[in-house]
Structure 1
Amino acid sequence: MDMTETTSEISTRAATPVWPCLTYRDAPAAIEFLCRAFGFVERARYGEGDVVDHAELGWPGGGGIMLGSVREDSLHGQLPTATGSVYVVIDNPDELFARAEQAGATIMRGLRDEDYGSRGFTCRDPEGVIWSFGTYAGAPEGE
């Protein structure tokens, strides 16, 4: 089977085939913040007490993220926390900017219009993960 067939087969199995995975020192607090500040919806959480083995936060427009607590027995646990960034396509950057700011997100780049047609902003969550939100939905296929 060539790579094209594999990619096609994989992409038909899920509505959203790409889910960023993040690790947090305080995963329960991260879940609460991400839902309150950005509007994610907690869909699943596994673990005991303050340890989150696996959680899924859905994005209202589809897709979402997976996250968990730092654990030595996890491959993701080998990554340092507060690394990486996530870009989320949104229709309402002004509204979400106000919500994120009110919830205590650290604004790194304020709300602005870009020369490529996007409007958005960038902020950091309490553990340092960088989140960008904007109207740019990617280049059309074939470009």
Structure 2
Amino acid sequence: MTTTNTRPAPTVWGTLQAQDAPGLIDFLVNKVGFIKTAAYSDGGLIAHAQLDWPEGGGIMLGSYKPGHDWSRKPGTAGMYVVTDDPDALHQRLRAHGVEMIRDIADQEYGNREFTIRDPEGNLWSFGYYRGEPRP
């Protein structure tokens, strides 16, 4: 059996910094369902981690380093993640005790979505809306 390693198609990747990057990685992988593709440490901090969303795309994150050029305050991000089955994901996250900010509901624009807060304070919405078609 041969395995082919492929890079994901070009997409937009959100980036986060965290006070407790290993804890955020654990939350996003073990509760939310991201896949840890890479994590590199530097002196006890996470220099870079890549978490892939099984349905496409992903995020990159690392430990908060105040004063660096790419420094972003932890806990201030908002992400939207597309999932084909928001109801099943919502049920699984509730079972894990994840903090719900908005319960699952149908939206006027045709989406079904819900919002959670991660341990750092970032907000994550999940729904099946993939955006409007390009003209």
2:33 to 30, 39, 42: 39
Which residue of structure 2 aligns with residue 115 of structure 1? 108
Describe the SS at the equivalent of 1:53: strand
1:89 to 82, 91, 97: 82
Q: Distance in 2 between matches of 1:103 and 1:75?
A: 36
Q: Distance in 2 between matches of 1:24 and 1:50?
A: 13
Pair 1:56–1:17, CA change in 2 (3 A)? same
Q: Distance in 2 between matches of 1:98 and 1:49?
A: 38
1:48 is displaced (CA, Å) by 4.1
Range that drifts further, 53-62 or 66-75: 66-75
Which residue of structure 2 aligns with residue 102 of structure 1? 95
1 or 2, which has the higher strand percentage? 2
Describe the SS at the equivalent of 1:141: coil
Pair 1:62–1:115, CA change in 2 (3 A)? same
Please say which structure displays the higher CA radius of gyration.
1
1:16 is displaced (CA, Å) by 3.1
Structure 1: 4+ residue segments shifted above 4 A:
none
Q: Could you list the per-position Cα deviations for residues 51-70 of structure 1 after superposition, in whole angstroms to 9, with x for gaps in the alignment?
A: 10000001101211000001
TM-score by length of 2: 0.88
Which residue of structure 1 aligns with residue 117 of structure 2? 124
1:14 is displaced (CA, Å) by 6.1
Identity, in percent, stands at 45
What is the aligned-residue RMSD (CA, Å)? 1.7
Q: Distance in 2 between matches of 1:93 and 1:14?
A: 23
2:45 to 46, 51, 55: 51
Paired AA for residue 55 in structure 1: A
Which residue of structure 1 aligns with residue 70 of structure 2? 76
Pair 1:102–1:48, CA change in 2 (3 A)? farther
TM-score by length of 1: 0.83
Q: How many residues align?
A: 129
Gap regions ≥5 residues in structure 1: 1-12
Contact 1:93 1:120 in 2 (8 A): yes
